[in-house]
C-alpha cells in the first residue's frame, strides 16, 4: 500500500508542473503580445506624426475659410517632393518665433512681384480672383519676392498679420500644406488650391 501511494504521488507531480508551466507560458505570451502591440502602435504613431501634423486654428486671420477652434490635418512632406503653389494654405514657423506657427495662403512665389492697390492683389500684373476672402484689402503696397521665399496673406485680409506687414516666408520655415478640416465633423472639408491667378471678371 505504501508503494501504491508513493506511485500515485509521484505520477501527480508532472501534471502539476505541466499546469504550472502552461500558466506561466500563457502569462508570458500575453505579456509579449501586449508589448508587441504597444511597440507597433508607437511605430505607427511616430510614422504618422513624421508625415503629418494636427493643427488647431487659433485666430480669425483665415476667416471665412478657417474658423477658430477648427482642427486641420497638415501634410508635412508635401514640399519634400514638390513645390508650393499659389493658393496653397500652409503652416509655417512665425517670423522670429520658431516655437509658434502661423497659417496663411500663398499668393506669390519666388521671383514674383506683388502689387496691392484699389482692393485687388496683382501678381506679375495679373489680378487674382479671390472669392474666398472676407473683404478686399484696404492697404496698398508693392513687394518683390526673393528667391526661395513666399508671399502669404490671410483670407481675412484686413485682420491678418502676414507678408504685407512683416515680409516673406522662407521655404525652410514651411511646416507643411493644410489638407483638410477634420474637426468639428460638421465642418469636414478638403482644402483644395483654387485657380486664383486669372483675370478678374
Say yes or no: 1 and 40 in one domain.
yes
DSSP secondary structure letters along 116-160: EETTEEEETTEEB--TTSSS-----EEEEPPTTEEEEE-SSGGG-
Say yes or no: 89 and 146 in one domain.
yes
CA distance 62 to 67: 7
Say yes or no: 100 and 182 in one domain.
yes
| 122, part of any domain | yes
Say yes or no: 45 and 124 in one domain.
no
Domains: count for the chain: 2
Q: Report the CATH number that the domain containing residue 105 is assigned in CATH.
A: 2.10.109.10
Q: How many CB atoms lie within 10 A of CB 129?
A: 16
Judge whether 108 and 114 are in contact, CB under 8 Å: yes
Q: What is the pLDDT along the chain (201 residues), one digit of tens a residue?
A: 444 444 444 444 555 555 555 555 677 777 787 777 777 766 655 555 555 578 899 999 999 999 999 999 999 998 988 899 999 999 999 988 877 999 999 999 999 999 999 999 999 999 999 999 999 999 999 999 999 999 999 999 999 999 999 999 999 999 999 999 999 999 899 887 665 554 333
Q: Global pTM?
A: 0.75
Task: Select which of 20, 104, 163, 186 is catalytic.
Answer: 104
| 23, part of any domain | yes
pLDDT of residue 53: 76
Say yes or no: 66 and 148 in one domain.
yes
pLDDT of residue 97: 80
Say yes or no: 161 and 104 in one domain.
yes
Say yes or no: 37 and 122 in one domain.
no
Q: Which domain holds residue 30?
A: 1-51
| 160, part of any domain | yes
Catalytic residue flag (residue 80): no
Say yes or no: 120 and 156 in one domain.
yes
Say yes or no: 21 and 118 in one domain.
no
Say yes or no: 184 and 89 in one domain.
yes
Spatial strand order in the sheet of 141-144? 126-127, 120-123, 113-117, 141-144
| CA angle, 184 then 187 then 188, to 5° | 90
Say yes or no: 63 and 113 in one domain.
yes
**Longest CA span, the chain:** 114
Q: Any idea which residue has 506657427 for its cell?
A: 101
Catalytic residue flag (residue 104): yes
CB-based burial label for 145 (10 Å; 0-12, 13-18, 19+) = buried
| 43, part of any domain | yes
Task: Select which of 22, 25, 52, 61 is catalytic.
Answer: 61
Buried b (16+ CB within 10 A) or exposed e, 15-53: eeeeeeeeeeeeeeeeeeeeeeeeeeeeeeeeeeeeebb
CA distance 45 to 54: 12
pLDDT of residue 10: 46
Judge whether 54 and 74 are in contact, CB under 8 Å: yes
Amino acid at each position: 500500500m505504501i508503494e501504491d501511494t508513493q506511485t500515485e504521488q509521484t505520477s501527480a507531480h508532472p501534471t502539476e508542473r505541466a499546469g504550472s508551466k502552461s500558466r506561466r507560458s500563457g502569462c508570458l505570451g500575453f505579456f509579449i503580445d501586449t508589448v508587441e502591440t504597444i511597440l507597433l502602435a508607437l511605430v505607427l504613431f511616430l510614422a504618422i506624426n513624421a508625415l503629418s501634423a494636427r493643427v488647431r486654428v487659433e485666430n480669425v486671420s483665415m476667416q471665412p475659410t478657417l474658423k477658430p477652434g477648427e482642427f486641420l490635418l497638415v501634410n508635412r512632406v508635401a514640399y519634400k517632393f514638390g513645390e508650393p503653389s499659389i493658393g496653397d494654405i500652409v503652416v509655417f514657423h512665425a517670423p522670429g518665433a520658431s516655437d509658434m506657427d502661423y497659417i496663411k495662403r500663398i499668393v506669390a512665389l519666388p521671383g514674383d512681384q506683388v502689387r496691392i492697390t484699389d482692393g485687388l492683389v496683382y501678381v506679375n500684373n495679373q489680378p487674382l480672383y479671390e472669392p474666398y476672402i472676407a473683404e478686399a484689402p484696404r492697404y496698398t503696397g508693392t513687394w518683390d519676392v526673393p528667391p526661395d521665399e513666399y508671399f502669404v496673406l490671410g483670407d481675412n485680409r484686413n485682420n491678418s498679420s502676414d507678408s504685407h506687414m512683416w515680409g516673406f516666408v522662407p521655404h525652410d520655415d514651411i511646416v507643411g500644406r493644410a489638407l483638410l478640416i477634420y474637426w468639428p465633423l460638421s465642418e469636414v472639408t478638403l482644402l483644395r488650391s483654387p485657380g486664383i491667378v486669372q483675370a478678374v471678371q
